[in-house]
Structure 1
C-alpha cells in the first residue's frame, strides 16, 4: 500500500483520474470517425480532420465506447483483487478481473442491470450505472472470449506461448483496457505480467498480451513521475526480456523513431498501421503522445496529441483512448482539456471510480 499524504496523495489521485478521464476523452474523440478513411474525414470535417468532439452516428457528442467501458470494469476488478491481496494474500486477481468482464458483458447483453441474485459476479455499484448499458461496437474476441470461463493461472509464466482462449486473437481489445494494472504500488514487472495474464482471458496471441503488458508497465512508470519518453523506454526494456516480444518491440521502435524524426502529421500516423491489432494500436498511441506537431496550431500539446491519435483511417477510438490514458497518467486530470472533459459521458462516475482506487491503494489518505 502507498501511505501518501498531502501533495503526494493529490498527485497520485490526479494521475489515476487523469488516466481514466484522459482515456475517455480520446475514446470519445475517435468514436465518430472510427473506420472512416482520412479522405472521408477530411471531406466531412476539413483538411485538419476533426479538431474536437463531434456527434457520433446517433447525433450524440462525447459518447464513450467499449474501450472505456472495459477499462472501468478492469479497474473495478483489479481494485478488488488488490484489496484481497492486501487483506489476506489471496491471489485471485485474474479471477476477479474476469468476473468484472462478465459484469461488462451484462451491459452488452441487457438493457438494464440483471438481478444480483441471478449470478454471483453481479455485485458492486458500477454494474448499476444505466449509461453503461449501451452496445458500442464491442470487439468479437472480448464479447465471445469472456464467457469461456477459463481464468489464467495468476502465477503462470508469461512465456510467449498462445493462450487457451482465442489463441490467434491479436486485436487491440486487450490493450485498450489495460491501463489500470499500472495504478498500484506493485512493480512495473508485476503490472506487465498481470496485464498479460488478464489479456489472455480473451486474447491468446502473444503479441496481444505483450502489448497489453508493455502498456501497463508504461502506466506504472508514469504513476511514479517518470517522463513519458522514460516510461516508454523502460516499458520496452522490460518487454525485451520475454520470448517472442519482437513483433511488439518492432512496432514500438518504429513509433519512437518516427516521433524523433520531425514534426508529426496524420500521414505519418498512417504509416504505423490502422490500430486494429494490438501492437499497432499501442504504437500509434505512443507516437501521438511523444511526437510534436503544429498541424493544429491553435491547440495545446495535449489536445494536439489526442487529435493526432485519432485522425487516421483505422481504430480511432482505441488509439485515442490509449493515448489519453498515457497523457492523463503523465499530466493528471487538471491539465486535460476541460472543455472536452465537460462533455464526456459518465465523467462523474469515472472520477468516482478513480477516487475509490486512490482511497484503497492509499489508505493513509483521506477519501476525496
Structure 2
C-alpha cells in the first residue's frame, strides 16, 4: 500500500518490530471497530424508518434498551444489515489490495470496487455461488437482503467504477458511503499509513456510489476519525484534527458544519433523543456522521459504550447507520473488551466478523510471513485470491 508524507508523532517503527503490547492493542481496536459497528447496526435496524414517537410507543418511554427482533426475522435478535455487510467486504477489499500491492502492481480503489461487487452479488442471489471468490463471499448469512441503499445498488450496477473526476451518482449524498468507510481508518498507526492516506482512500472508494462532495467527504472524514482513534488520539482532538483536514477540500462546508454541531451539542446540551434529532435524521451522509460522532462524544468512556449506542439509535431516521458509525468509533477507541458482552454474544455473524478482523490485523502486521516474493508461500492468497 502506498506511503504518505503525513507529519505524525506516532511511532516510526513498522508493525513487525513492535513489542507485544502495541500489537495486541492494535488487534483489539480492529476487532472493536468491526464488532462495535455490527452491534450498533443490529440495535438500530429494528427501528429504522420509525419515528421517535413510534419507538417510544413500542418499546417504552426511553425507547430501545436492548437488541430487538428485526421485522420478518421470525423473532431473531441481533441481525445486521447492509451497513455491516458492506463494511466487511470493504475490509476484505483492503486486505486484497495490500496483497496485490506487495506484488508491485495495484490500484487499491479498483480492488475495493471489486469487493463491493461481491457484496452486490449477495443482494442478487439467495446463497453463495459455487465459484464464490474468497472465503468471505462463501458465508451464507451475508446473503440476506435488508433494505440496502438505492445509491449503493445503482452505483454498483452502473457498469463502471466511479472516480473523483467522474463519480457515479454525482448528486447523491446519502449515508451509504460513510457507513461502510471505517476499515480505511484501520490501517496500522505508522507514518506510511497516515491520516490523509486513510481520508483519500475512503474518498476514492466513496465516489464509486456517492458522487456528491458531502457524500464522499463525510466518508473520508469518518475514515480519518477512525485512523486517529486507532492511533490513540482522544475523540474530541480527533474531531478537531478532521475539521482541519476537511477545510482543505472544496465542498466541505456541509460536513464541517455537521461535525461542529455535533461537538456543540455534546458540550452544551443533555444527551437526549431530542438533541440527536436536532442534528438530523441520518439519511444523508453529514447527518449520519454527526449523530454517530455526537453519541460517542456524549458518552466517550469505555464504561459508557452501551449508553452511547442506545443514544445513537433512539431517534427518527436511519438508526442502523448512526448506530453502526457510533459503534465503529467507540470500538476503535476502546477495543473489543469495552463492548457490552451480552450484545457481543448475540450479534449476527460474530465469528465471521472476528475472523476477518484478525485477518486484517495479520495482513498489516505480519504480511511478510503470509505472502510476497521474498516470503514463504502460504494459503493466504487462496483465502484472499486475485494477487
Normalized against structure 2, the TM-score is what? Answer: 0.87
2:3 alignment counterpart: none
The CA deviation string for residues 112-146 of structure 1, in whole angstroms up to 9 with x for no partner, is 11232xxxxx4110000010010011001111111
Once residues 230 and 79 of structure 1 are traced to their aligned partners in structure 2, the CA distance between those partners, rounded to angstroms, is: 29
Cα deviation, residue 236, structure 1: 1.4
Once residues 282 and 361 of structure 2 are traced to their aligned partners in structure 1, the CA distance between those partners, rounded to angstroms, is: 31
Distance 1:135 1:364, change over 3 A: closer
1:233 alignment counterpart: 240
- Is 1:16 the counterpart of 2:30 in the alignment? yes
Aligned partners of 1:9 and 1:365 also within 8 Å: no
1:182 alignment counterpart: 185
- Is 1:83 the counterpart of 2:99 in the alignment? yes
1:283 alignment counterpart: 290
2:138 alignment counterpart: 128
Once residues 131 and 83 of structure 1 are traced to their aligned partners in structure 2, the CA distance between those partners, rounded to angstroms, is: 26
Cα deviation, residue 301, structure 1: 1.1
Cα deviation, residue 300, structure 1: 4.4
Q: 1:222-301 alignment to 2 at 5 Å? A: 222-292=229-299, 300-301=303-304
Cα deviation, residue 84, structure 1: 2.1
Cα deviation, residue 365, structure 1: 10
Once residues 76 and 321 of structure 2 are traced to their aligned partners in structure 1, the CA distance between those partners, rounded to angstroms, is: 18
Cα deviation, residue 88, structure 1: 3.4
Q: 1:1-368 alignment to 2 at 5 Å? A: 2-3=15-16, 4-58=18-72, 59-85=75-101, 87-116=102-131, 122-152=132-162, 163-185=166-188, 186-292=193-299, 300-363=303-366
- What is the aligned residue count? 349
Cα deviation, residue 366, structure 1: 9.2
Q: Which moved more, 1:206-215 or 1:89-98?
A: 89-98
Cα deviation, residue 91, structure 1: 3.4
Once residues 122 and 288 of structure 2 are traced to their aligned partners in structure 1, the CA distance between those partners, rounded to angstroms, is: 25
Once residues 236 and 105 of structure 2 are traced to their aligned partners in structure 1, the CA distance between those partners, rounded to angstroms, is: 35
Aligned partners of 2:91 and 2:183 also within 8 Å: yes
Once residues 203 and 248 of structure 2 are traced to their aligned partners in structure 1, the CA distance between those partners, rounded to angstroms, is: 14
Once residues 77 and 303 of structure 2 are traced to their aligned partners in structure 1, the CA distance between those partners, rounded to angstroms, is: 21
Once residues 89 and 284 of structure 1 are traced to their aligned partners in structure 2, the CA distance between those partners, rounded to angstroms, is: 40
Q: Which moved more, 1:258-267 or 1:10-19?
A: 258-267
The CA deviation string for residues 121-178 of structure 1, in whole angstroms up to 9 with x for no partner, is x41100000100100110011111113243345xxxx6xx7x4311111100000000
Over the aligned positions, Cα root-mean-square deviation in angstroms equals 1.8
Once residues 146 and 197 of structure 1 are traced to their aligned partners in structure 2, the CA distance between those partners, rounded to angstroms, is: 14
Aligned partners of 1:28 and 1:65 also within 8 Å: yes
Once residues 168 and 316 of structure 2 are traced to their aligned partners in structure 1, the CA distance between those partners, rounded to angstroms, is: 29
Once residues 72 and 96 of structure 1 are traced to their aligned partners in structure 2, the CA distance between those partners, rounded to angstroms, is: 14
Once residues 5 and 129 of structure 1 are traced to their aligned partners in structure 2, the CA distance between those partners, rounded to angstroms, is: 34
Once residues 159 and 263 of structure 2 are traced to their aligned partners in structure 1, the CA distance between those partners, rounded to angstroms, is: 38
- Structure 1: 5+ residue runs without aligned partners? 117-121, 294-298
The CA deviation string for residues 249-274 of structure 1, in whole angstroms up to 9 with x for no partner, is 01111111111114211100000010
SS state of the match for residue 275, structure 1? coil
Distance 1:8 1:212, change over 3 A: same
Once residues 105 and 241 of structure 2 are traced to their aligned partners in structure 1, the CA distance between those partners, rounded to angstroms, is: 29
Once residues 211 and 178 of structure 2 are traced to their aligned partners in structure 1, the CA distance between those partners, rounded to angstroms, is: 12
Normalized against structure 1, the TM-score is what? Answer: 0.91
Once residues 364 and 137 of structure 1 are traced to their aligned partners in structure 2, the CA distance between those partners, rounded to angstroms, is: 36
Q: Which moved more, 1:325-334 or 1:139-148?
A: 139-148
